[in-house]
Amino acid sequence: MTNHPKIGIRPIIDGRRGGIRESLEEMTMGMALSVAKLYAAKLRYADGVPVECVIADTTIGGVAEAAAATDKFRDNNVGAVLSVTPCWCYGSETIDMDPLMPKAIWGFNKTQRPGAVYLASALAGHNQKGLPAFGIYGSEVQEQDDNSITPDVEEKLLRFGRAAVAVMEMRGKSYLSIGSVSMGIAGSMPDPDFFQEYLGMRNEAVDCSEIARRIELGIYDKEEFERAMAWVEKHCKTHEGEDLNPEHLRYSREKKDEVWEYVVKMTMIFRDLMVGNPKLAEMGFEEEAAGHNAIAGGFQGQRQWTDFRPDGDFSEAILNTSFDWNGIREAYTFATENDTLNGVSMLFMHLLTNQAQLFSDVRSYWSPEAVERATGRKLTGKAANGIIHLINSGSSTLDASGAMSDAEGNPVMKPFWEITEQEAERCLEATTWHPAGREYMRGGGFSSKFFTRGDMPVTMCRLNLIKGQGPVLQIAEGWAVNVDRAIFEHIDKRTDPSWPTTYFAPRLTGRGAFRSVYNVMNNWGANHGAITYGHVGADLITLAAMLRIPVCMHNVDEEKIFRPSAWAAFGSDPEGADYRACNNYGPVYR
């Protein structure tokens, strides 16, 4: 997975020779070089490598040069294109015609040369041909000798770049289901048409019996297992939480130790199933060593497996965390209960932010009045309008404990390459591991337990499939908030005190679903949500437009919404226009 898809940059120029084209060559190619420099400095793939750009060999003044650029891009694994120009050019002769490529055009705002005129002409051509493109145009006129990228242009260039990289990295990859449908949850019923047509992905599946087969036959790296167990002894078993099971359901110490070994093996096997492991080929298991080319996955767990085998809580938590016994590394995207739609929601935000993602139940709404009635304490600060209790026994990344910090000491979550060993240690110290409740999880297991430190800016999103409509995306920006300790303990004891807790306060706008915290909860489309650090709703809206997925609920400021220019032709109401445009164009890969 190291042959990264690249962004192709197309420097577009007025093709008239004899003075006009010659006077623009340096400026036009300079725009392309400046964008490539920006992307390399500010954007990374999920594995931490700076985003690569491929620039056309020459400026593009006509269809022959456009075709030459297309050939070069095809040979260099280009998956999205950005055209740049400071001047008038020939519109339909110079645009990119590949229907699978996300596209944007930056027209320089200079009065000496009409970059905006080309931008409008080229966008009209794109729209007429059914090839939606994002238009980028600075709000301020720049002087002839000023070739800088202004802040508003940079914001749009980066927003397009982040979303384009996410689209490219999903294309051709797999979602791996380990098991099948969990407890009738609709999201864990993989819809292959959705994955194929909207994401360009395939679905892979293995039965849960594959876990037992690999454990019984020893199809895992024995040396890594010993290293993993030493790490678990140091960081997890020493932080075992109270066993809250009734006496007759408590495992003996010997049995608990067996469960620890089993869940560590499960974790390794889940990872190997997703991405493969060359060590297995050395052991004679060449087929197993290949993996399933999975960029995301999920584990059914409940109920057939967990009725007699350890649950996936430990495995899901560790895979979704930015470190394990092998050190600090990219977090995997792995969904509890094989909720494929929440897994995709996590994947969207992982690819946009390069950070670990939190999987959680959207469990309950607590009004200020209910909190005061139950605890005698008031919610304050960002929590003053009420909170949504996010809690789940499974895929709760340890990154979400809030034990990492920025230079000012504020709790944060980070891309893995910015995480220090000390921060990883603090996340482990903030986490206890409670034996699973065996009334539900009869085979036992261990669940992470922490309380997310606030106030961290976070974004919650969820993809849902609607019969007759197709996929829709929900977005809620807000904060993971602190509450009075007495409030936390009271709410904690009313649910499951062995599970990790995050209290979410969405940002209210006074409109629609964001009139109140209750309305956010009441309009959420499923029992699960994906949560990321930072306010990234605008990036999600851009990504959704690239994938032709309408956004049915969000609290992003309207001036931050960035969609293809064609969306403006579908009505003045942004939400309605989004639905009509997505319906008109349909999924990219159909």
| Assigned token pair, 211 | 């876990």
The reply, when asked if residue 361 is annotated as ligand binding, is yes
The reply, when asked if residue 455 is annotated as ligand binding, is no
> How far separated are the first and last CA of the chain, in Å rounded?
25
Q: Are 103 and 49 in contact (CB under 8 A)?
A: no
The reply, when asked if residue 434 is annotated as ligand binding, is no
Position 124: which residue type? Answer: A
Q: Which residues touch 562 (CB under 8 Å, ≥6 apart)? A: 134, 156, 159, 160, 538, 541, 542
Q: Which residues touch 463 (CB under 8 Å, ≥6 apart)? A: 341, 342, 344, 345, 348, 471, 472, 473, 474, 549
The per-type count for the chain, helices as H runs and strands as E runs, is 19, 22
Task: Please state, in angstroms and rounded to a whole number, the distance separating the CA atoms of residues 85 and 30.
Answer: 10
Position 224: which residue type? Answer: E
| Assigned token pair, 125 | 């051509």
Q: Are 293 and 173 in contact (CB under 8 A)?
A: yes
Which residue out of 14, 96, 337, 423 is catalytically annotated? Answer: 337
Task: Please state, in angstroms and rounded to a whole number, the distance separating the CA atoms of residues 351 and 306.
Answer: 31
Which residue out of 96, 313, 316, 361 is catalytically annotated? Answer: 361
Closest alpha carbon to 86 in 19, 160, 143, 37: 143
Tokens 């930056």 belong to residue: 106
| Assigned token pair, 170 | 């999903």
Task: Please state, in angstroms and rounded to a whole number, the distance separating the CA atoms of residues 118 and 97.
Answer: 17
Largest CA distance in the chain: 91
**Quick check: is 361 catalytic?**
yes
Strand, helix or coil for residue 160: helix
Residue 8 burial (C-beta neighbours within 10 Å; 0-12, 13-18, 19+): buried
Outline where DSSP puts E strands in 441-508: 446-449, 456-466, 470-480, 501-506
Q: What is the bridge-based pairing of β-strands 446-449 and 432-435?
A: antiparallel
Secondary structure letter of residue 52 according to DSSP: P
| Assigned token pair, 357 | 């993602």
Helices 151-170 and 340-353, interaxial angle, to 10°? 140
Q: What own/partner pairs with CB < 8 Å and gap ≥ 24 does 288-292 have?
A: 288/214, 288/219, 292/174, 292/176, 292/204, 292/206
Secondary structure letter of residue 195 according to DSSP: I
| Assigned token pair, 255 | 């049995």
Q: What is the bridge-based pairing of β-strands 53-55 and 6-11?
A: parallel
| Assigned token pair, 213 | 């087969």
- 564-588 exposure pattern, b = at least 16 Cβ within 10 A, e = fewer: bbbbeebeeebeebbbbbbeebebb
Secondary structure letter of residue 439 according to DSSP: T
Outline where DSSP puts E strands in 228-337: 294-299, 323-324, 327-328, 334-336
| Assigned token pair, 132 | 């939606």
What positions carry a catalytic annotation?
A: 337, 361
Annotated binding site for Mn(2+): 337, 361, 528
